Amino acid sequence: MNDDTDLGAPEAEPLWESTVNGRPVRLRVPQAKRLLDIVREDLGLTGTKRSCEIGRCGACMVLLDGAPVNACLTMAYQCAGRDVVTIEGIAGEEELHPVQRAFLEEGGYQCGYCTPGMIVSVKALLDAIPDPSPEEAEEALSGNLCRCTGYGGILRSVLRAIEKGRGGS
């Protein structure tokens, strides 16, 4: 949590209760506060990025009950009582998630600004479809813009993550 935490929020604000990265969170925030601002400002989880704020780039992608959503379009009341996972909650206690390892090995990132959102989307994709067709992968990831890589490294990372999922290298 950073110093920006809304500790002084007036009592009048409703209590927002959710699970974020496996931990229960209780905050007083306006109903219409964006999930993006809750995680970045109130919880200090800055791995979730802000880029377009209109649901077009995927830099702010988080999992809501396991499904990828744009945190910039999700308001507090829409995710109250639900399970939120941000990039900070993707890795296991000891080890990185296989998708994260795949990105490291294949170099599926450059500046890294799209990477948290991209990894969240890839994880959601492979959780739902462990061996996606090109069309399924493109469909699932076309909401995540990357300006640096041209997506080659990202596709190779997805491929490697698929192989890892099958017990490959």
Partner 1 sequence: MRLNRENSGARWRMRPDGPDKVTGSLAYLTDLTAPGMLHGLVLRSPHPHARIAAVRTDAARRLPGVAAVLTGRDVPGLNRFGIARQDQPVFCEDRVRYVGDAVAAVAADSLESARRALELIEVEYEPLPLLDDPEQALRPEAPPLHPEGNVLHAKTYRTGDAGPVFASCAHIVEETYRTPRQMHAYMETEGGLFVPGPEGGLTVYAPTQHGRMDRLQLSRILAMPEERIRVVSSPIGGSFGGKDELNVQPYGALLALASGRPVRIHNSRRESVRAGLKRHPMIIRMKTGTDANGRILAHRVSIVADTGPYASLGAEVLNFATEHAVSAYRFGCVDAESVSVFTNNGMSGEFRGFGGNQAVFALEGQMDRLADALGMDPWEFRRLNLKTADEPGPFGQPIARTDGAAKAWAALAGSRLWRERSAVRTPQAEVPLASSSAAADARDAGTALRRRIAADSAAPVSAGGEADPPWRKIGIGAAMVMHGAGLGFGIPDPSGGRLALRQDGKIEAAFGFEECGQGLIATLEQMMIERFGFAADDIRIVIGDSDAVPDSGSSTASRATSMMWRALGLLERPFTEKLLEAAAKACGRPSRLLGLGEGGIRDLETGERIVAYEALAGRQKEPIVCEAATRYPAADTDIVGAHFLYSYAAVAAKVEIDGLTGRVRVLEQFHAVAAGPVMNPQGYLGQIEGGSAMALGYALLEEAAMRRGQYVTNNFDTYLIPTIADAGGPVEVAAIEDLPEGDEHGPRGVGEIGSVGLAAAIASAVRHAAGAWIDRLPIDPALLQEARPFEKAAVIGDE
The yes or no reply on residue 31 touching partner 1 (CB under 8 A) is no
Strand partners, 88: none
Position 13 contacts partner 1 (CB under 8 A): no
- Closest to 21 (Cα-Cα) out of 73, 72, 84, 71: 84
- Smallest gap from Cβ 22 to partner 1, in A, equals 15
9 binds partner 1 (CB under 8 A): no
Long-range contacts of 5-12 (CB under 8 A, 24+ apart): 5/41, 5/42, 5/44, 6/41, 6/42
Q: Which is nearer to ligand FES, 30 or 143 (CB)?
A: 143
21 lies in the binding site for partner 1 (CB under 8 A): no
Measured between alpha carbons, how far is 30 from 88 in angstroms, rounded to an integer? 24
CB 144, min distance to ligand FES, A: 9
Short-list 40, 38, 37, 33, CA closest to 77: 33
- Per-residue burial over 37-75, b = 16 or more CB atoms within 10 Å of its CB, e = otherwise: bbbbbbbebebbbbbeeeeebbbbbbbbeeebbbbbebb
Question: Cα dihedral sign for 116, 161, 125, 96?
Answer: negative
Mask 33-72, x = binds partner 1 (CB under 8 A)?
A: -------x----xxxxxxxxxx-xx-x-------------
Contact call for residue 87 and partner 1 (CB under 8 A): yes
The CB-of-72 to ligand FES minimum distance in angstroms stands at 3
Is residue 150 close enough to count as binding ligand FES by CB under 6 A? no
The reply to whether 92 sits near partner 1 by the rule CB under 8 A is no
**Binding residues for partner 1 (CB under 8 A):** 2-4, 40, 45-54, 56-57, 59, 86-88, 90-91, 96, 100, 103-107, 109-116, 119, 131-135, 137-139, 141-156, 158-159, 162-163, 166, 168
